[in-house]
Structure 1
Amino acid sequence: MTSYNTVIEPPRLGEPYLLTPGPLTTSWAVKQAMLRDWGSWDDEFRAVTRELRTRLLAMLGDGAEEFDCVPMQGSGSFSVEAMLGSFIPRDGKALVLANGAYGLRSAETLRYLGRDFTLLDKGDYLPPRGDDVTRILADDPAITHVIAIHCETSSGILNPVEEISQATYAAGRKLLIDSMSAFGAIDLKPSEIRYEALVSSANKCIEGVPGFGFIIARKTELEAAKGNSHSLSLDVHAQWTHMNKSGQWRFTPPTHAVVAFLEALRAHQADGGVAARGARYTRNRDVMVAGMRDLGFVTLLDNRWLSPIIVTFFCPADGNFIFDRYYELMKQKGFIIYPGKLTVVDSFRVGCIGQMDETVMRQVVAAAKESLAEMGVTDAAPPDAALKERAKLAA
């Protein structure tokens, strides 16, 4: 078995660091795990799938025995669609809490599925709150489920899922959580936050590679999901019963991504689990944000709402700043950043997750300083419109 430690190795083969919310920079051990071919029906691969499911459930802590884990082929959006289509009955109705692109994507998914829903769109800057949920559920008794995004990576907001959960269950409804970019670094213990199901992906905080996601749901919900799904391949109930019966995936699994993820899961536990992973990402964020602010950059969010996953910065107002040029300069220095998704003002994002530590984040800040100088940008302050938008958070 591989020996693990918390030493962060630099990327190999001239690879840049991926400062994104996933895919992200992975360890050399995770990459090496993909060098072998696996038979998807073989007993060894069934054992891999079994261990993977067991390890993910163990991350829930107390109450995990009430849940089961169902891996699902495809990108994270495939697993989100599988969760929504399997657990929301065809005659159900959802309240979608959106404050960015991924909440809006859940609403669009429900539209495709023909499921009824109400959308609360808070825009790019504000989190949905428990009071919002209480008010809407009181006004609409037809709503059966609430859909919340744990970390909205289009802005970097860490949403208050605990108060959302309290409001949901106080009204007698059910909560489904898209924890795509948070699970593995931020606790979602069912003993502390009630929910029926969560969804995440291999290439996020557990630091695997793309290829599949997973749904962790209460067994009672899995049993009740029979016949709900709109899809043959995205039927969570069918995948669950088949895996429990045969140990196999129903359709060809991404074998290399699965084995790489198990390697990442073992390292995750050996490094200290969710608490340690979240602490490293938090240090990454704090060091990077402090350095970028020293350069004059302004974050979309104040410290209260900053997640340890990804941070949004406003683009400078300086006429010499052109994002595409800035992106290329940062890439030349070994760092791939992420374009912004805000609709009102220009922005960019810097991820804090993956095989990186605070030493790397100091290098990110140094690269940002050098890139500004090369562009002739003397002031990284944003335009007045950005500051007005930011003020909405404090209102």
Structure 2
Amino acid sequence: MVAQKTQIAPPKLGEPFLLTPGPLTTSYAVKEAMLRDWGSWDDDFRAMTKSMRSQLLEMLGEGADDFDCVPMQGSGSFAVEAMLASFIPKDGKTLVLANGAYGKRSAQTLAYLNREHIVLDKGDYLPPRGEEVAKILAEDPAITHVVAIHCETSSGILNPIEEISEATYGAGRKLLIDSMSAFGAIELKVADIRYEAMVSSANKCIEGVPGFGFIIARKSELEAAKGNSHSLSLDVHAQWAHMNKTGQWRFTPPTHVVAAFLEALKGHKVEGGVAGRGARYARNRDVMVEGMRELGFETLLKDRWLSPIIVTFFCPADENFVFDQFYALMKEKGFIIYPGKLTVVDSFRVGCIGQMDEHIMRQVVTAAKETLAEMGVASAAPPALALQERAKLAA
């Protein structure tokens, strides 16, 4: 399919752009799709669910016939918990690869589930590497599964999933991927990267609205998952079996959200699918990062690890810079940014996804420049400690 230029328009009624990793700014068409009511048991809605599942599987490319798609009500974290509980058996042991809040959340989830696990914690800004994974797996034959975050949005780092997969399967183990903030904009084709299951949600790179996540898993893993889950509501096998038998969700589905998501999938295809969507996001990132660096801001990550999803910037050392004031003034100018999650130094994040293009990103830079002037910030340079921390990336 030939990609078409995406028409980006300002949000309605003076709404600000959401420069976040989701929820994000959606198109008019996606919003308007929610104006109709649907019966969850009706044939029309069952057809909508079937179409949605099929379209998501198409993004896997060659080999997708071995997989199936199971939507799950709730936020992305609901779907992650469902994946972990359903595909990791009660006597399994998991290696969690963490370099930010979402890897740690997976470990916390496994603790709640009473699933044995260990954590490779790389801190705020270093990626887990394949050789590290291989070494841990070689030293601990009890490990059955590896959990990896595709894009760790607490830092904005795009983790090296391909080498992690190679290390995992080279050791005869299984990989589960949290691709919450990457799927739909960064390729995850099963012919190129091996994994048993991945999870994402409606309100990320496909540009729908919050309300459900989805698990895409090998059919063999779905069949083997029976009886693993701790939860009635979050049992992926039960949801899958019920959907395949009846075409319906087991419990009340977010009907309006599904309708909006189908409209978002149309826009995704028009833009050229994963490649087209990812190219726009990457251009958004490049334009915004270049402009912010010209203002004196420094990114947490070197270019090699910058994802096209969200970028973390160090807060300026200037004593006149107060993040809450910066946030409020940016919002007045039409842009909602995101607080940072780093533990050592202060930071903030700017998302690159949603209904935005490079022209909008230039407006973001202009707004930041004006805001610094209003605050009396003479320099956006970060404190020395921030640069010392970043230097560890090259170590």
Q: In 2, distance between residues paired with 1:91 and 1:338?
A: 39
Q: In 1, distance between residues paired with 2:61 and 2:122?
A: 32
* Correspondence 1:80-99 to 2 at 5 A: 80-99=80-99
Aligned residue for 2:286? Answer: 286
Kindly tell me the number of residue pairs found equivalent between the two proteins. Answer: 392
Deviation at 1:36, TM superposition (A): 0.6
Aligned residue for 2:245? Answer: 245
Aligned residue for 2:312? Answer: 312
Aligned residue for 1:216? Answer: 216
Equivalent AA in structure 2 for residue 213 of structure 1? G
Aligned residue for 1:30? Answer: 30
Aligned residue for 2:303? Answer: 303
Q: In 2, distance between residues paired with 1:67 and 1:100?
A: 29
Deviation at 1:6, TM superposition (A): 1.1
1:245 alignment partner, SS class: helix
Deviation at 1:254, TM superposition (A): 0.6
Equivalent AA in structure 1 for residue 338 of structure 2? Y
Equivalent AA in structure 2 for residue 108 of structure 1? Q
1:249 alignment partner, SS class: coil
Unaligned runs of 5+ in 1: none
Is 1:207 matched with 2:194? no
Aligned residue for 1:368? Answer: 368
Equivalent AA in structure 2 for residue 389 of structure 1? E
Equivalent AA in structure 2 for residue 170 of structure 1? G
Q: In 1, distance between residues paired with 2:81 and 2:132?
A: 24
Percent pairwise identity: 80
Aligned residue for 2:158? Answer: 158
Aligned residue for 2:330? Answer: 330
1:120 alignment partner, SS class: strand
Equivalent AA in structure 1 for residue 30 of structure 2? V
Is 1:355 matched with 2:319? no
| CA deviation string 1:240-284 (max 9, x = no partner) | 000000000000001111110010011101210000000000000
1:13 alignment partner, SS class: helix
Deviation at 1:181, TM superposition (A): 0.1
Equivalent AA in structure 2 for residue 117 of structure 1? H
* Correspondence 1:108-257 to 2 at 5 A: 108-257=108-257
Q: In 1, distance between residues paired with 2:9 and 2:56?
A: 25
Give the TM-score, by structure 1 length: 0.99
1:304 alignment partner, SS class: helix
Q: In 1, distance between residues paired with 2:48 and 2:341?
A: 37
Q: In 2, distance between residues paired with 1:24 and 1:351?
A: 9
Q: In 2, distance between residues paired with 1:248 and 1:269?
A: 25
Aligned residue for 2:259? Answer: 259
Aligned residue for 1:340? Answer: 340
Equivalent AA in structure 2 for residue 96 of structure 1? V
Runs (4+) off by over 6 Å: none
Is 1:273 matched with 2:273? yes
Deviation at 1:73, TM superposition (A): 0.2
Equivalent AA in structure 2 for residue 14 of structure 1? G
Equivalent AA in structure 2 for residue 184 of structure 1? G
| CA deviation string 1:188-214 (max 9, x = no partner) | 000000000000000000000000000
Q: What CA RMSD, in Å, does the superposition of the two structures yield over aligned residues? A: 0.6
Q: In 2, distance between residues paired with 1:34 and 1:232?
A: 28
Deviation at 1:10, TM superposition (A): 1.1
Aligned residue for 2:66? Answer: 66
Equivalent AA in structure 2 for residue 273 of structure 1? G
Equivalent AA in structure 2 for residue 386 of structure 1? A
Equivalent AA in structure 1 for residue 262 of structure 2? L
Q: In 1, distance between residues paired with 2:37 and 2:5?
A: 26
| CA deviation string 1:92-140 (max 9, x = no partner) | 0000000000000000000000000010000001000001100100110
Q: In 1, distance between residues paired with 2:150 and 2:355?
A: 22
Q: In 2, distance between residues paired with 1:394 and 1:172?
A: 31
| CA deviation string 1:136-162 (max 9, x = no partner) | 001100000000000000000000000
Deviation at 1:5, TM superposition (A): 5.5
Q: In 1, distance between residues paired with 2:6 and 2:346?
A: 36
Deviation at 1:7, TM superposition (A): 1.0
| CA deviation string 1:347-377 (max 9, x = no partner) | 0000000000000000000000000000000
Q: In 1, distance between residues paired with 2:143 and 2:271?
A: 41
2:13 alignment partner, SS class: coil
